[in-house]
Structure 1
Amino acid sequence: MAPETLRRSNLGELKTGSKVNLERAISGEVRFGGHFVQGHVDTIATIESITPDANSLRFSFKMRDVENINYVVEKGFISLDGTSLTVTEVDFDKATFGIMMVAYTQDKVVMATKKVGETINVEVDLTGKLIARQIEALMAQEYAKEDSKLGQMIERIVERKLKDMMK
């Protein structure tokens, strides 16, 4: 296993006989009805709680690398241990999020067998990461301009904050 994989994932925690989800990619000729994920791992999260809710399980997680919470949105999707799931709640301040796993999915994936305190692999939304990167690049380009409106706005905000602090 590559060092990058071990740094980002929980695969180094696995032991002989540990179960993992393996799923083949779909071909271009197949009807696509799910979420678009790549199968990469951005970080890990720790299971904080598992609560039964009728025949479903409500999971709550805490991100290890808190900056990744910025790419998680309620009713968006996230891939956890290779399973694409809908996000039911997000707390950006605590870097936590939740999902609900229906009975059908519980029977098909490894995550349903995990306990509180265990870790799961997380792939956040690629589209969110791409949009954030483009905004950062555009803002940096704009700020670098000599007569940048963005730079002028930032200077006004900083001046205002400094005045408020001096009061």
Structure 2
Amino acid sequence: MFTGIVETIGTITSLVSHDDSASGGKGTSLTISNCADILTDAHLGDSISINGTCLTVTEFDKAQFKVGVSPETLRRTNLGSLKEGSNVNLERAVSASTRMGGHFVQGHVDTIATVAKTTPDGNAITFRLQPRDKSVLRYIVEKGYVTLDGASLTVTAVQDGPDGWWEVMLIAYTQERVVMGGKKQGDDVNVEVDMVGKYVEKSVQGYFEEKTSGEVGVLEKMVGKIVEEKLKNTGK
């Protein structure tokens, strides 16, 4: 579990591909440097969010650490496009003493979004993003949370539909502290929507889809009752 508050920006210093017969493809080992601040209490097997993707520390020293990335993760995130010298957002998993400055983030990427447009606004920048998987738009609400490359950001505008998008605004302070600040039109971003929306959706679906002894579902009963009351009130 993470908060979406980026602790530091690290740099990819090595990418080594290797066969991964178990998953039927090639995986990659990443070495991330310039991140001594988050390694003071590191242990093998710890979880660290790299651009919003929860990965496991397999090696580390005082200044750098290594993780393995499976072929599935490379396909579903923007980690597959990283190169030596790429910067990445880093955050350690939460501890009992962690302050929740962002929101609950799992480190499970839902989809990739593309930066469709950037618009300067004073010293801030508005980013418009279009998701690869349009179904995530139902979880994106104005003034709600969305995690972009592991950074918890506030949605400022949403447009649903086949060409749907949403926007976030980064102030100057944030631009300097997350990789999103350097994104340009056409760049890809890892997206994790707010998990609360997913749980609410599943709970509501389960409630309305409930059936007992072959009777009409709860939702159908409610609709029928509303229609019946309407007809009574109109005298028809």
| 2:189 paired with 1:120 | yes
C-alpha deviation, 1:35, in angstroms: 2.2
**Separation (CA, whole Å) in 2 of partners of 1:89 and 1:47:** 14
Distance in 2, Cα, partners of 1:88 & 1:104: 18
Report deviation, 1:114: 1.4
TM-score normalised by L of structure 2: 0.60
> What's the RMSD between the two structures over aligned residues?
2.2
- Partner SS, residue 59 of structure 1: strand
Contact 2:145 / 2:194 at 8 angstroms: preserved in 1?
yes
Please give the alpha-carbon distance, in whole angstroms, between the structure 2 residues aligned to 1:36 and 1:114. Answer: 24
| 2:145 and 2:154 in contact (8 A); partners too | yes
CA distance in 2, matches of 1:23, 1:58: 24
- Whole-angstrom distance in 2 between the partners of 1:144 and 1:70: 32
- The one-letter code sitting in structure 2 at the alignment partner of 1:70 is R
**C-alpha distance after superposition, 1:104-144 (max 9, x if no partner):** 11011111111101110001010001111112222222488
More strand by share: 2
2:141 maps to which residue?
73
Match of 1:87 among 142, 148, 155: 155
Q: Which moved more, 1:79-88 or 1:132-141?
A: 132-141
User: Could you tell me which residue of structure 2 aligns to residue 30 of structure 1?
Assistant: 98
The CA deviation at 1:3 is: 3.2
Which ranges in structure 2 are unaligned for 5 or more consecutive residues?
A: 1-68, 225-236
1:49 positional shift: 0.7
1:143·1:151 contact (CA, 8 Å) conserved in 2?
no
> Which residue number corresponds to residue 109 of structure 2?
41
Taking the TM superposition and a 5 Å limit, the aligned residue runs for 1:101-116 are 101-116=170-185
More helix per residue: 1
Unaligned runs of 5+ in 1: 156-167
Larger Rg computed on CA atoms: 2
User: Does residue 167 of structure 2 align to residue 98 of structure 1?
Assistant: yes
Contact 2:156 2:166 in 1 (8 A): yes
Name the % identity.
Answer: 50
Counterpart Cα distance in 2 of 1:144 and 1:35: 41
| Mapped contact 1:143–1:150 kept (Cα < 8 A) | no
Q: Which has the higher contact order (CA 8 A, sep 6+)?
A: 1
Higher mean C-alpha displacement, 79-88 vs 23-32: 23-32
SS at match of 2:197: helix
Alignment check: 8 A CA contact 1:44 1:119 kept: yes
Superposition deviation, residue 153 in structure 1: 6.9
Q: What letter is aligned with 2:197?
A: G
Q: Which amino acid letter does the alignment assign opposite residue 85 of structure 1?
A: L
